Amino acid sequence: MRFDHVRIRLEPLSVSNCLDMAVLFYRQYFKPIAQLLALFALPCCVAVYVMSYFYEYDLRLPALLFFVLSSPMGILLISGTAAASFGEPFSWGRVLKQKPGRLMSLFLRGLLLRAAVGSVILMFFLEDWDLAIRVLLGFVLCLFPGVWLAIRSGFLVERTVLADLSNHLHETRGSKLIHKQFGDLLIGGGMIVGYCALLWLVFFMVFDLAINFLFHVPIFFPRLGPDGEMGFLLWGDPKVLCLITFCAFLVYPLGRLAWFFTYIDLRVRRDCWDMELELAQEADRLEATS
């Protein structure tokens, strides 16, 4: 990666700016992102449909699959995004060939983190406990350790990949800076999650109505009636679960890209990363000419 070939704005960004840049990046590199979606989303949707249709699995299955598979998907996405942002082509072949050991380490650490958070949150589904206790416990556990771990480790991929540009800045000082800005990151992350949730709802409605209009296959809204089928359809209908899963994977890259640009903003706004890299680049130039 080359800082002198940077393709993104190294300047302070608001949450809306991060989302705007994520949308622009998503559009510009839609082809490789679509390939990533085909790798993760399509097999997951098939698995959800088959398991819910033949074995009557409910909404917890797509939630579990998305929770687990979004980790390696996000790692690959940010590895390609970081390279494309700093002068290299967005190529999956290049991403997989460049430091495969580091990539496997990120996969393992990401899955272990998801397992640690997921094993605690699974207590929310204990059927032997009273519903009010389960709801309260689930809410508390989602805040700690769920949200706390998500924020503290949320930039693991960014710091690891961008350490090629400035190892001291991203590896040594990263944890301290994230700790100091935990409140701002929590607010920004919540806004990104809220935006993606609304976008997921919009995509769900659009695809549902479009499929019914074009192919005459009712999925959710055309099947609603006065007898209250909404809960049943959302909880266990195979077609609805499949569409829920697809829309979640479709929206996830946008939120993950916005979180990547949030890290860039954190480095620039709070640590003057753009100035440090420019000084380092100028020092290398002067050393080469002397």
Asked if residue 195 belongs to a domain, the reply is: yes
Per residue in 66-109, pLDDT (tens digit) is 999 999 999 999 999 988 988 788 989 888 887 888 899 999 98
Question: Is 290 within the bounds of a domain?
Answer: no
Average pLDDT over residues 173-188: 77
Q: How far is CA 243 from the centre of its chain?
A: 18
Is 285 inside any structural domain? no
In a domain? residue 284: no
Helix residue ranges, H only, the chain: 15-28, 30-55, 60-85, 92-97, 100-121, 131-141, 148-152, 156-162, 167, 174-180, 182-215, 230-236, 238-271, 273-289
User: What's the rounded Cα separation, in Å, for the pair 156 and 152?
Assistant: 8
**In terms of residue numbers, what domain contains 62?**
3-279
- Greater confidence (53 vs 270) lies with 53
In Å, how far are 50, 56, 184, 251 from 22, measured between CA atoms? 33, 37, 19, 11
Contact call for residues 277 and 166 (beta carbons, < 8 A): yes
Residue 145 lies in a domain: yes
**pTM across the whole model:** 0.87
**Structure confidence by residue, pLDDT tens digits, 97-113:** 878 888 999 999 888 88
- Any domain includes 287: no
The total domain count for the chain is: 1
267 within some domain:
yes
Q: List pLDDT tens digits, range 246-283.
A: 999 999 999 999 999 999 888 888 776 655 555 555 55
Q: Give the pLDDT of residue 209.
A: 95
Q: How far apart are CA 107 and CA 72, in angstroms?
A: 6
Does residue 111 belong to any structural domain of this protein?
yes
How high is the mean pLDDT of the chain? Answer: 82
Tokens of 198: 């609304």
196 versus 131: which is more confidently predicted? 196
Task: Please state, in angstroms and rounded to a whole number, the distance separating the CA atoms of residues 197 and 188.
Answer: 14
